[in-house]
Amino acid sequence: MRRREFITLVSGLAALPIAAQAQQSAMPVIGFLSARAPEESGHLVDAFRHGLKDEGGYTEGENVAIEFRWAGGDYSRLPALATGLVDRRVTIIVAVGGEGSAQAAKHASTTIPIVFSSGRDPVSIGLVASFNRPGGNATGVNTSTSMMEPKRLSLLRELAPAVTLVGVLVNPNFPAAERQVRDLGEAARAIGQRIILGKASTDNELDDAFAYLVREGIGSLLVTGDPYFDTRRDRIVAFATRQRLPAIYQFREFAVAGGVLSYGLSFTDVYRQVGVYAAKVLMGEKPEDLPVQQANKFELVINLKTAKALGITISDNLLSLADEVIE
């Protein structure tokens, strides 16, 4: 063998372990797309990480990387954020914080696997072909949050039965807003309850909605399920407290922040389930073979401390139904 050929061969053999090591060290990248904001979602991200680790042994920074993209309640930003993750060539997209994230991800890519959480029927909005056989590149967890407003209205009615006018805070830019308003209207007529809408999708509109509801003389407040309102949780709870309003919200986090009552799904459980599904996909399972899960862990949380401070009496029946009472 000639000397030059021998050196080339040895150099090639020496490079093989290095290349193999580089390939082995390359971690999968999760693109985490959320309509919410990071400062109010830390506990949910933790739940997602737990699902990843419990199901597949994935730990961020060790054997998986996560690229976060937050819309901060501005749904118009979601398409560009989703496209950015596709350009980043992430391994999988996790789309949470409302079906707008999932729809943006689905529009951005038909090949990258997507695991979503969606408050609306994922079949009706084109995310999957069916619950049992999703088909395509997406699957996830259906939360049906947009269908819970009538139940919240009935709980608010029990909390404040003498109130003649209920204020409803709704975001007209939320994809499920039309259904929320329709369902609430039907439920209100069925029980003879007057409601009035305060509409907001920006901070200025939120202040205007607060002022409008006060002028109209509402006696209680229902905050519809919406990621934008989640990002403004403290402001909304502070408004209800200033006005001494009995109020109901969609998630436990509102009650923990000082809201009187919350009823809805445990979203820590939802995000854990999303993490489990993301791990399954990273381990080689295909979204089309993973049935869409239906979230089913509900929780009624009462902040008794806030209620007493505002002079609101909680009925024995509500207390008996509560999953958690904050005292």
Going by C-alpha positions, the residue among 212, 209, 246 that lies closest to residue 226 is 209
Q: How far apart are CA 71 and CA 105, in angstroms?
A: 13
- Say what the pLDDT of residue 186 is: 97
Q: Which residues of the chain have pLDDT under 70?
A: 1-25, 146
Residue ranges, CATH 3.40.50.2300, the chain: 28-144+267-297, 146-264+299-326
Whether CATH 3.40.50.2300 fits 146-264+299-326: yes
Residue-level pLDDT at 98:
84
The H or E element containing residue 76 is none
Going by their DSSP bridges, the two strands 220-223 and 165-170 should be labelled as parallel
Give the per-residue pLDDT at 287.
Answer: 97
pLDDT of amino acid 204: 97
pLDDT at 146: 66
Tokens of 227: 């990621």
User: Which amino acid, 321?
Assistant: L
Residues 6 or more apart from 296 whose CB is under 8 A from it?
none
Taking the C-alpha atoms of residue 211 and residue 213, their distance in angstroms, rounded to an integer, is: 6
DSSP assigned state of 212: H
* Strands 261-265, 298-303: pairing kind: antiparallel
Tell me: the pLDDT tens digits for 7-33?
444 344 344 443 333 334 589 999 999
Determine the pLDDT at residue 22. Answer: 36
The CATH label, of 2.30.40.10, 3.40.50.920, 3.20.20.70, 3.40.50.2300, for the domain at 28-144+267-297 is: 3.40.50.2300
Query: What does the alpha-carbon distance between residue 3 and residue 5 come to, in Å, rounded to a whole number?
Result: 6
